[in-house]
Amino acid sequence: MRRAFVPNRLIPTRLLLAAALGLAVTAAPVLAQRDPAYAAARASGKVGEKMDGYLGIVGPATGELKAMVDDINIKRKAVYAQQAQAQHATVEEYALTAGCLAIARTVPGEKYQTPDGSWATRTSAPPQRDSRCP
Amino acid sequence: MNRGELTDRLPVATTRPMVGRCSRDRNGRLRRVLGAAVLVAGSAGLAGCISVNAPDKPIVIELNINIKQEVLYRLADDAGKTIDQNSGIF
């Protein structure tokens, strides 16, 4: 009965495979590499990693900078929310953990937020982090 | 040894309630007066205007303080992978 409406034989497997691959390629790695503007803002210390797992503006906030930071933080929050649910944790807990790691992964010259809330420039020495950081 | 300790405790056990009762009897009148005074003061306080205003600022509870270290350690592995997989926004 159903066979009449779905002519499976007419859809080549190769085409199906290509369609699946195409979907995977367009869906996943939007987030594969830093946007050049973001990379530049990080390197110049205009943005920094906050303790709470989100990006912060270090100096004066221009509209452009704020739009970029907001955009990244919205995407981060979506990722945190998804993963936190999978790990049976709260978004804040997950974000704080990611913040610890993101600060640890900053490279010399980049800005990060210290436990007292101020901005610091990463040197080759380990960053000052929250005592609970793994 | 135990017997000695127990006999030592005996006077303490017997005299304390007695002392308590004795002093209460003696100061019973004073206590009643005091109690009345407290009642009067209390009702005076109630009669006065007690106003409770809602705070104009939102109450922010800093949740991060309550997050325990063990939770961060548990999530660390997964969070590391998440950062790797989403390197464009980290």
Chain A, chain B: beta-carbon pairs less than 8 Å apart:
80
ipTM of this predicted structure = 0.74
The torsion angles phi and psi of B12, rounded to 5 degrees, stand at -60, -45
Both tokens assigned to B61? 């509870």
Cα A120 to Cα B63: distance, rounded to the nearest angstrom: 24
Would the CB atoms of B69 and A132 count as touching at under 8 Å?
yes
Cα A20 to Cα B19: distance, rounded to the nearest angstrom: 91
Give the model's pLDDT for residue B34: 65
Would the CB atoms of B71 and A76 count as touching at under 8 Å?
no
| pLDDT, average across residues B36-40 | 60
**Of A68-72, A91-95, B52-56, the least confident:** B52-56
Cα A84 to Cα A52: distance, rounded to the nearest angstrom: 14
**In which domain, by residue range, is B23 found?**
2-51+58-89
- Residues in chain A with CB shorter than 8 Å from the CB of B75 are 87, 89, 93-94, 97
Q: Is A41 on the interface with B (CB under 8 A)?
A: no
| pLDDT, average across residues B31-57 | 67
For residue range A30-45, list pLDDT tens digits in order: 558 999 999 999 999 9
Q: Is B7 on the interface with A (CB under 8 A)?
A: no
pLDDT over threshold 60, residue B81: yes
Count of domains observed in chain B: 1
Instruction: Please identify which residue in the block is written with the tokens 């003061």.
Output: B41
Quote the mean pLDDT of chain A: 84
H helix intervals, chain A? 13-27, 36-43, 63-86, 91-104
Q: Is B50 on the interface with A (CB under 8 A)?
A: no
Cα A76 to Cα A50: distance, rounded to the nearest angstrom: 12
The residues, any chain, with a CB within 8 Å of residue B73's CB and separated by 6 or more, are A134
Tell me if the pTM is above 0.90.
no
Q: Is B66 on the interface with A (CB under 8 A)?
A: no
| pLDDT, average across residues A84-107 | 96
